[in-house]
Amino acid sequence: MKTPYQIFLELKANLDSDELKRFFRLVHLYPNRIELSWEKAELDLINKYRYLGCKLGDAAIAAHLEMMSITTLVSENRDFFEEVKGLPFRVLRIQEALRELGIVE
């Protein structure tokens, strides 16, 4: 699982300290499966997604996903990227992702 810098910023802004500690415990438990990237998104990619209609924070996330060749984003944000069509990645809800992984039916 790749985690771009902008996603980390979103987690930091929206999780309480205990939830953030649990996230970092997972990162340390699975160092070969969870990759954190501290790279900032390229400005030209951010501008590309802004031009396509993304809000600034969403544009930065989309730019990171493209930079890191991430093809799936798991999010419970109901309207995440709804305003933009033809993205190079898909957005799944947690239940959809767990179903694809065979964890739940």
Q: How confident is the model at residue 101 (pLDDT cuts 50, 70, 90)?
A: confident
Q: Per residue in 48-94, pLDDT tens? A: 999 998 888 889 989 999 998 989 888 888 777 777 888 899 888 88
Q: Is the pLDDT of residue 40 over 90?
A: no
pLDDT at 49: 93
Token digits for 43? 């400005």
C-alpha dihedral sign at 69, 63, 60, 39? positive
pLDDT at 33: 75
Interior angle at CA 77, CA 10 and CA 23, nearest 5 = 40
Could you tell me the fold of the domain covering 2-100? Answer: Rossmann fold (3.40.50)
